[in-house]
Amino acid sequence: MDLSIVTTMYYSSPYIREFYDRICAVAEKITEDYEIILVNDGSPDDSLDIAVALYEKDQKVRVIDFSRNFGHHKAMMTGLMHAKGELVFLIDCDLEEEPELLETFYAEYRKNDYVDVVYGVQEARKGGFFEKMSGNIFYWIFNLFSSYPVPSNLVTARLMSKRYVEALVQHKDREVFMAGLWAITGFKQIPLMVTKHDKGNSCYNLMRKISILVNSITSFSNKPLLFIFYLGSIIFFISSMAALHLIIRRVFFGVLLAGWPSLMVTIWLLGGLTIFCVGVIGIYLSRIFTETKDRPYTIIRQIYERFKSDI
């Protein structure tokens, strides 16, 4: 198998047929030996029916149907696990990323020796003010805390070698953040500037973006725990100096500092800080709890594929 094309489906029924037609047209310029893997991430619409219809028409199409929605990143990882090609092209099927990028990425891949990944980065982040601002803040905070910084404004589309994909899917994280896994897997990766179109709506609302940010930071960095240690040390030092100052004023100068409001503010401040720090530690404990249970992060209900004897 020369080429595998992997994409995920969630509320994707308006785009699947056009995506299929366009990606096939590009793939056939590269090789006749390719496959298209459509991963149905528990989509509530008729995405699965459309994908199965394509499978019945075209022997190159494989469909992986999940038992429920597990999330975009986990769906991508599962699709990559089933890819058989020497090259693997990962892309979203909602047409925000043009299927024709496959040809562009392939040309760049062939031009560079020892390259394992060609990936897309947006020239300018798509969407309105809120989406652009929230995206920039997300990458800034993640790179601030993470030991493995990732390029800002990544897109899903990327062309990868088989050995890179085999290394990538060895990660067994239960909380999957693809951009971080792409970075820590290593190998030689080169970016290409691309334009990502705006379809007008997104499955990633504010709360989901915050959840992904928390998951990604706690999965790829222990810096928040170190921050808590240093913060506690600084507070202990300052409070010790303040207590010593009050004792000296009382013993040697007979001055008693009054001020119940300042005392209450201090109590509330330190109480809130304590709760915050305990919460951060709790998140890490939750991650450990999730990882040690060793549950599969996706469950496949059915795989629609043809074996060689069926073709």
Name the superfamily (CATH) of residues 3-220+296-310. Answer: Spore Coat Polysaccharide Biosynthesis Protein SpsA; Chain A (3.90.550.10)
Task: Give the pLDDT band (50/70/90) at residue 73.
Answer: confident
Which of 135-149, 185-199, 297-311 is the least confident region? 135-149
Task: Say which residue, 286 or 201, is predicted with more confidence.
Answer: 286
3-class SS letters over 38-102: EEECCCCCCHHHHHHHHHHHCCCEEEEEECCCCCHHHHHHHHHHCCCCCEEEECCCCCCCCCCHH
- For the chain, how far is it from start to end, CA to CA, in angstroms? 14
Share of the chain above pLDDT 70, in %: 70
Q: What is the pLDDT of residues 211-249, one digit of tens each?
A: 666 666 666 666 776 677 677 777 767 766 776 776 677
Q: Would you state the pLDDT for residue 265?
A: 59
Q: Would you state the pLDDT for residue 259?
A: 60
CB of 253 closer than 8 Å to CB of 175 = no
Q: Would you state the pLDDT for residue 8?
A: 93
pTM confidence score:
0.73
Q: What is the pLDDT of residues 177-216, one digit of tens each?
A: 777 788 888 888 898 888 887 765 555 556 666 666 666 6
pLDDT at 68 over 80: yes
- In the chain, list all ranges with CATH 3.90.550.10: 3-220+296-310
User: What would the two tokens of residue 197 be?
Assistant: 């179109």
d(CA 297, CA 110) in angstroms, rounded, equals 34
CB of 58 closer than 8 Å to CB of 50 = no
The number of C-alpha atoms within 13 Å of 57 and in the hemisphere containing its C-beta is 9
